[in-house]
Amino acid sequence: MANSDDKDGGWAWIILIVASLSVAASCGLGIVGGIFQVFFLEQFRESISYTAWVTALFSSLLQLAGPVASLIVNYFSCRTSVMLGSMLMSLGLVLSSFGNSIEYLMITFGIISGLGLGLIYTPSIIITNYYFHSKRNIMTGVVMSAAGVGIFAAPLLSRQGGLGDDVIAGNVAVKEYCQIVEKEPFLKNPTKINENEVQSKQFLDVKDSNILKSLESVSLNSQLFLSRTSGLNVDVSTPKPYFLRHKQFIVFCISLILVNAGFGGVLIHYPHLCESKGASKNDVALAISANGPALVVSRVLVGALGNADNVDFFAVYISLKALAGIFVCLVPIFNYSIGYSVSTMIILALTNGGSDSLAVGLTLDCVGFDQFAVAVGVQMVCAGIGYLIAPPIIGWVVDVTGSNNTAMFIAGGLLMLSAFVCLLIPLLKEKDAPSIGYHPQKCQETVEIDEPTKS
């Protein structure tokens, strides 16, 4: 049970560790989609665009399952979502090892395992932001950087070869389930309280208020910290979430679609590009695994930068996305070598991967803390749409042109376009609204509670 020290300390550190382990497992399995793409092409001899639907479904559901995970968390707990996701992912991956067609793998590997992946990832990210306030950006960076550990290990394990990798991945999912079962729930299910039970920094479930009425089906179990006062009539009054009409938020969502469309194109089609230039499967696995350690470093450092005073982390975010796009477009120009391939993955992690640590802070600036949970659910769907649609379309272009280089040109162009779209956000700022991503004078978030009038 959370106590008075849980905000930015106490139980929050346990949350940080368990969330990091969940992110490492889910992202590690998600990153190997490109390696599976190469194997599926060799095994089933289908077109690049048709085969890409398998890995696109699997990886995109990491985001598209966000609303489903939100619903489970809202009515049960984060622990329930992670446990259910682990079981689904394990079942789907083991069933995939018996696959004999692309259509079969679309169901077992793409949908069942992908849904499990999303149910693990979403609550791990959200819960960190509820337990850390003053250190939110850097702690989000720490949790997201745990993805680098999984990204480093998973491609190396994939060198076992073929659909047998799914059995190994299924075992990982089972161990993830067992590990979560041994832990306390991320958040206890809220219970009714009376006036005398409101104590120092206890949680009040926002679900019981009218804040998320219109979007409760996709909201998370949002929590607010309350300060101690004796004999209170607790009244949390905040406006209804009209953030879907918020122009800056809508533009940021469009940018996220483009970002994940470009990044998905790189992850799924880059391994095939390398093999077409003479790389072995071991070389490809080694190159992709190099993305992991670099991702750890970049997300922690960029997250710390975003948490520093007088830093415009919105400008940092745009700059890193633009640099990532430019670099991806340059990838096909140079001749292949294992050193160059490793450098490619490292630079991509330092630019595109590092900037992801700032996305949560930008979302909070757009919609506010009270509407944050639902906003993240919407953004997860937008990101998943990009990841789902772009790789098959890019694969179709490769099939038509006969050039794997085309995939990198399109993916890099999408990343650059996402940065340019973000430039519209400051232009849409409402009068007297705070700037997005720049806080020269930081202040603590508080909830005002009106004391009852004494009669």
Task: Say whether pLDDT at 439 is over 70.
Answer: no
pLDDT of residue 188: 44
With helix as H, strand as E and coil as C, how does the chain read? CCCCCCCCCCHHHHHHHHHHHHHHHHHHHHHCHHHHHHHHHHHHCCCHHHHHHHHHHHHHHHHHCHHHHHHHHHHCCHHHHHHHHHHHHHHHHHHHCCCCCHHHHHHHHHHHHHHHHHHHHHHHHHHHHHHCCCCHHHHHHHHHHCHHHHHHHHHHHHHHCCCHHHHHHHHHHHHHHHHHHCCCCCCCCCCCCCHHHCCCCCEEEHHHCCCCHHHHHHCCCCEEECCCCCCCCCCCCCCCCCHHHCHHHHHHHHHHHHHHHHHHHHHHHHHHHHHHCCCCHHHHHHHHHCHHHHHHHHHHHHHHHHHCCCCCHHHHHHHHHHHHHHHHHHHHHCCCCHHHHHHHHHHHHHHHHHHHHHHHHHHHHHHCCCCHHHHHHHHHHHHHHHHHHHHHHHHHHHHHHCCCHHHHHHHHHHHHHHHHHHCCCHHHCCCCCCCCCCCCCCCCCCCCCCCCCCC
Task: Say whether pLDDT at 244 is over 50.
Answer: yes
pLDDT band at 361 (very low <50, low <70, confident <90, very high): confident
Count of CB atoms within 10 A of residue 233's CB? 11
Compare 173 and 285 and report the one with higher pLDDT.
Answer: 285
Task: Say whether pLDDT at 13 is over 70.
Answer: yes
Task: Say whether pLDDT at 89 is over 80.
Answer: yes
* pTM over cut 0.85: no
pLDDT of residue 237: 40
Domains of the chain: 11-188+241-428 (1.20.1250.20)
pLDDT of residue 212: 36
User: With contact defined as beta carbons under 8 Å apart, do 32 and 154 qualify?
Assistant: yes
Q: What are phi and psi of 86, to 5 degrees?
A: -65, -40
Task: Say whether pLDDT at 236 is over 60.
Answer: no
| The dihedral sign for the CA sequence 316, 311, 291, 91 | negative
Task: Say whether pLDDT at 178 is over 60.
Answer: no
- Condensed to tens digits (0 to 9), the pLDDT of residues 113-162 reads 889 888 888 777 777 776 777 776 677 767 877 777 777 777 666 555 44
Q: How far, in Å, CA of 89 to CA of 170, rounded?
A: 7
pLDDT band at 328 (very low <50, low <70, confident <90, very high): very high
pLDDT of residue 385: 92
Task: Say whether pLDDT at 326 is over 90.
Answer: yes
Task: Say whether pLDDT at 338 is over 80.
Answer: yes
Nearest to 324 by CA among 420, 261, 416: 416
Distances (CA, A) of 185 to 123, 147, 250: 11, 21, 33
pLDDT of residue 290: 84
Q: What are phi and psi of 218, to 5 degrees?
A: -115, 15
Instruction: Tokens 């004391």: give the residue.
Output: 451
Cα first-last separation, the chain? 36
pLDDT band at 247 (very low <50, low <70, confident <90, very high): confident
Task: Say whether pLDDT at 283 is over 80.
Answer: yes
- Condensed to tens digits (0 to 9), the pLDDT of residues 378-401 reads 888 888 899 899 999 999 999 999
What mean pLDDT is predicted for residues 216-241?
36
pLDDT band at 261 (very low <50, low <70, confident <90, very high): very high
- Condensed to tens digits (0 to 9), the pLDDT of residues 187-219 reads 444 333 343 433 433 443 434 433 333 333 333
What mean pLDDT is predicted for residues 286-295?
83
Task: Say whether pLDDT at 5 is over 60.
Answer: no
Worst-scoring range by mean pLDDT, 63-67, 123-127, 321-325, 442-446?
Answer: 442-446
Angle at 269 between CA 387 and CA 159, to 5 degrees: 110
Q: How far, in Å, CA of 325 to CA of 210, rounded?
A: 42
Task: Say whether pLDDT at 225 is over 70.
Answer: no
Q: How far, in Å, CA of 289 to CA of 277, rounded?
A: 19
Percent of the chain with pLDDT over 70: 70
What mean pLDDT is predicted for residues 402-419?
93
With helix as H, strand as E and coil as C, how does 336-402 read? CCHHHHHHHHHHHHHHHHHHHHHHHHHHHHHHCCCCHHHHHHHHHHHHHHHHHHHHHHHHHHHHHHC
User: With contact defined as beta carbons under 8 Å apart, do 211 and 222 qualify?
Assistant: yes
Instruction: Please list, in sequence order, all residues whose beta carbon lies within 8 angstroms of the beta carbon of residue 292, skipping any fewer than 6 positions away.
Output: 147, 148, 149, 150, 151, 152, 153, 349
pLDDT of residue 52: 86
Q: How far, in Å, CA of 453 to CA of 308, rounded?
A: 41
Instruction: Please list, in sequence order, all residues whose beta carbon lies within 8 angstroms of the beta carbon of residue 151, skipping any fewer than 6 positions away.
Output: 27, 28, 31, 288, 289, 291, 292, 295
**Alpha carbons within 13 A on the beta-carbon side of 376:** 31
Task: Name the average pLDDT for the chain.
Answer: 73
pLDDT of residue 241: 46
Q: Report residue 51 as tokens.
A: 């085969």
Worst-scoring range by mean pLDDT, 59-68, 122-131, 177-186, 309-318?
Answer: 177-186
- Condensed to tens digits (0 to 9), the pLDDT of residues 262-274 reads 988 988 888 888 8
Q: Mutual orientation of helices 247-276 and 372-401 as an angle, nearest 10°? A: 40
Compare 41 and 9 and report the one with higher pLDDT.
Answer: 41
Q: How far, in Å, CA of 356 to CA of 255, rounded?
A: 12
Compare 152 and 440 and report the one with higher pLDDT.
Answer: 152
